[in-house]
Amino acid sequence: MKKHENPGPASQELTLRLLGLSDKIYRSLEPGIPHERLSMWLSSDLTVAQLRVLLLLHTEGPMRMSAVATHLGIAISTATGLVDKLVAKTMVMREDDPEDRRLVICRLSDKGNKLSSDLWDFGRAQVERLLTGLTEEQLRQAVHVVEFLYANLASNNRIDAER
């Protein structure tokens, strides 16, 4: 099937089935969230967009404001507003770019690094819960499926970027 082609009824049905199963997985994992972790994240008073910035800086490291905007697919002014709010919450630091003082480098503060590390570790722990108890053959199949999904996502992202 070509990318972004309208899927047939069987593909649509399978997609809905997969989405339903993923919902069940998420609901099954939710009770395993330790209360103290959940309250820490909820009390952080961060929006989803701000969390995306934190996790981007966590995974990619310090970057220019323009790179933050590009990675998240948002305008530089939007990225600047998000980062400004994270600076006010002491989650992110803005620094001058040593190569060009007109540019700004965004970097996680210790507080932002702690929260994003905790979130990342929590996500990895949830994946480990999903994989615990699988046989070696099931793990091989899971690796194959995830590699396939990742390749599909990368392909879709390239197609979207070309538009």
Residue 139 within any structural domain of the chain: no
Q: What distance in Å separates the CA atoms of residue 126 and residue 124, rounded to the nearest whole number?
A: 5
Q: Do 53 and 26 fall into the same domain?
A: no
Cα distance from N-terminal residue to C-terminal residue, the chain? 19
Q: Do 67 and 25 fall into the same domain?
A: no
Residue 107, pLDDT score: 97
- Residue type for 112, please? G
Q: Is there a contact between 69 and 79 (Cβ–Cβ < 8 Å)?
A: yes
Query: Which pLDDT tens digits describe the chain residue by residue (163 residues)?
Result: 445 566 677 888 888 888 888 888 877 776 666 655 556 566 678 898 999 999 999 999 999 999 999 999 999 999 999 999 999 999 999 998 888 888 889 999 999 999 999 888 888 888 888 899 999 999 999 999 999 888 988 887 765 655 5
pTM value?
Answer: 0.72
Count of CA atoms in the C-beta half-sphere (13 A) of 3: 12
Listed residues 97, 117, 137: the one ending a domain: 117
Residue-range definition of the domain harbouring residue 67? 46-117
Could you give the number of structural domains in the chain? 2
Q: Tell which residue, 102, 4, 47, has the closest CA to residue 94.
A: 102
Residue 152 within any structural domain of the chain: no
Q: Do 27 and 50 fall into the same domain?
A: no
Residue 28, pLDDT score: 77
Residue 156 within any structural domain of the chain: no
